Amino acid sequence: MKIEEKLARNKFDIDREVHIQVDEEKCKACESKVCLYACPAECYVLRAEGHVTFSYEGCLECGSCRFSCDKGTIAWVNPRGGFGVCYQYG
Ligand code: SF4
Ligand code: SF4
């Protein structure tokens, strides 16, 4: 089974409270944009003119973006209890 197929079996109970906040204005000045490579769920997307946008709904709660971004741009907490990803395969 491919990784994409495994990920597709995850379930999400999406919290209305956003658990990861990204200051996208600060991202405009970022050259590395390492979050694009760190996030396995592709929550960070490169738009036109180098603009990065973020959406939390498909977050796998791995924490990679939190530790990879060296600009202090990401405010990261876990979703509230009972919300977020539910893994099918651990
Ligand atoms: S690495 Fe950090 S500052 Fe750079 S684009 Fe990603 S979230 Fe923004
Ligand atoms: S915690 Fe992991 S899955 Fe969630 S946005 Fe950050 S890198 Fe992506």
Domain borders along the chain are 19-80
Higher pLDDT, 27 or 49: 27
**Which pLDDT belongs to residue 90?**
64
Residue with CA nearest ligand 2 atom 6: 65
Instruction: Report the predicted TM-score, pTM, of the whole model to 2 decimal places.
Output: 0.91
We find that the CATH architecture of domain 19-80 is 2-Layer Sandwich (3.30)
Ligand 1 atom with the smallest distance to the CA of 68 is 1
Give the pLDDT of residue 50: 86
What Cα–Cα distance (Å) separates residue 33 from each residue in 13, 18, 22? 28, 21, 13
Q: Is the CB of 20 under 6 A from ligand 1?
A: no
Question: pLDDT grade, residue 35 (50/70/90)?
Answer: very high
Closest protein CA for atom 5 of ligand 2: 59
The tens digit of pLDDT for each residue in 43-80 reads 999 998 889 999 999 999 999 999 999 999 999 999 99
Closest ligand relative to 58 C-alpha: 2
Residues 6+ apart with CB under 8 A from 16: none
